[in-house]
Amino acid sequence: MTASDAHVAGESSRATIRLASSIHLREEPDGGALVVDDRTLTAARINRSAHVLFQALGRPCTLGDLVGIFADTVKCPVGEAFTPVAKLVEEAARLGWLEVQDGMSDNGISGAAGL
């Protein structure tokens, strides 16, 4: 984890993240899943590790929660888990798949920019 990653992690520790209500997961036999967005009628395939994170996002959690879950899933140190999790959250937020609420101000999805 770089100093900039640590700074972002600290800033986003108050933010809660969850799947948008239009997002549904369809489990695949290999442990991955299809992410289906009812708003846009689009779907994307995700691997097993991402599926574990998206399942966790069924309830509000923090970026730190997701990093811990990912580290446990892929058996890596938490410091190595931060960057891939932050990138996944940032991309999913950009696609409108996540609802992000800043702990200090209710910015909705716009709060994802710092993630």
Amino acid at 36: V
6 CB neighbour count, 10 Å cutoff: 12
Q: Do you know the residue count of the chain? A: 115
* CA 86 remoteness from chain centre: 7
**Ranges of each domain in the chain:** 3-21+49-103
Residues whose CB is less than 8 angstroms from the CB of residue 27 and which lie 6 or more positions away in sequence, other chains included: 33, 51
Per-residue pLDDT at 103: 65
Q: For 100, which DSSP code?
A: E
33 CB neighbour count, 10 Å cutoff: 22
Give 2-46 pLDDT, tens digit per residue.
333 443 444 456 789 999 999 999 999 999 999 999 999 999 999
Per-residue pLDDT at 86: 96
Over range 48-64, report the average pLDDT. Answer: 95
Instruction: Dig out the tokens for 98 from the structure.
Output: 């996540």
Per-residue pLDDT at 14: 75
Whole-model pTM: value is 0.75
Over range 102-113, report the average pLDDT. Answer: 46
Helix (H, G, I), strand (E, B) or coil at 28: coil
Residue 84's H or E segment, with its range, is helix 78-94
User: Is the confidence at residue 51, as pLDDT, over 50?
Assistant: yes
Residue 102's pLDDT band, with cuts at 50, 70 and 90, is confident
Residue 85's pLDDT band, with cuts at 50, 70 and 90, is very high
Over range 76-87, report the average pLDDT. Answer: 95
